[in-house]
Amino acid sequence: MASPDTLATFFAQCRRRVDQTLSSIFPRSSDVSPRLLEAMRYSTFNGGKRVRPTLAYASCHALGGDIQQADPAACALELIHAYSLVHDDLPAMDNDDLRRGKPTCHKAYDEATAILVGDALQSLAFAVLGNSKLCPQSTLTDQVRLQLVNTLSQATGLTGMAGGQAMDLYATGGMLHQQQLELMHAHKTGALIQASVRMGALCALPEHDWEGASLQALDRYAKAIGLAFQVQDDILDVTSNTETLGKQQGADCALGKSTYVLLMGLEPAKDYTQELCRTAIGALDDLDHKANALRQIADYIVHRNY
């Protein structure tokens, strides 16, 4: 297995790669609304960890692919993630003032601009997947691009992130049992993480292997780390601080949301993250050393402090 330093290097390389590619995708100027373009950049280039693009690159590499082929997937995933955070932070949703240690989009600009930023980032995400001119270094076929669009659209709509967010809103103030909580987070958080792993794999695999054992193993891995990510978020909401998190500590409890810590207790929740980590790594048993980055990302997810 690669050393932690190697994972840190891989993260840095992926972050640099996706940021450079995103920079080339964004228009340099806008005659229609320079303020909207500025706010889009503010919300995208604000210091994120780039976990989802890194998962896409790592998944592509794990199956022997050239990671530049995953550039459209990586960029689309980060744009969708950025849009989701902008909308999640709105007063009608979580009403957060801080994101990654900086004022949220609606605080830095205004609420109407933040809504439009989310809309525009989502639109740009699908443009990246559909327009080969935006990432010319990637030579994906039209069939692969269509499959990427299908995967991402399912992960972000009613059957994915938006549906999970709605379930979260309607459940605020009540207490969900564990099965309901896992269903909610499988959509709200897990769906985009699972899409990240699958989309990276699609950029590496020939079409006749899309339903093969390797992709099924990666799907099991992604399901486990997607849930682990949310459990660890719930733990950090209790154990970390605002400065480290880059957002308001204790926000979920203040909003009356169901969390794994409230449901299970702090120590059992920590144990659960370790169980999920083992499940994720075990799913990769049949993959060789090229999957080591994925193995270490699973460990990173349950040990991160923000």
Q: Residues 132-190: pLDDT tens digits?
A: 999 999 999 999 999 999 999 999 999 999 999 999 888 877 778 889 999 999 999 99
Q: Residue 248 belongs to what domain range?
A: 4-303
CATH value at residue 204: 1.10.600.10
The pLDDT tens digits for 212-232 are 899 999 999 999 999 999 999
The total number of structural domains that make up the chain: 1
Burial class (CB in 10 A: 0-12, 13-18, 19+), 213: exposed
CB 146 within 8 A of CB 96: no
The whole-number pLDDT of residue 206 equals 86
pTM given for the model: 0.93
The pLDDT tens digits for 189-206 are 999 999 999 999 999 998
The pLDDT tens digits for 88-134 are 999 999 899 999 889 999 999 999 999 999 999 999 999 999 999 99
Biggest CA–CA distance in the chain, Å, is 54
CB 149 within 8 A of CB 126: yes
| pLDDT higher than threshold 80 for residue 10 | yes
| pLDDT higher than threshold 70 for residue 31 | yes
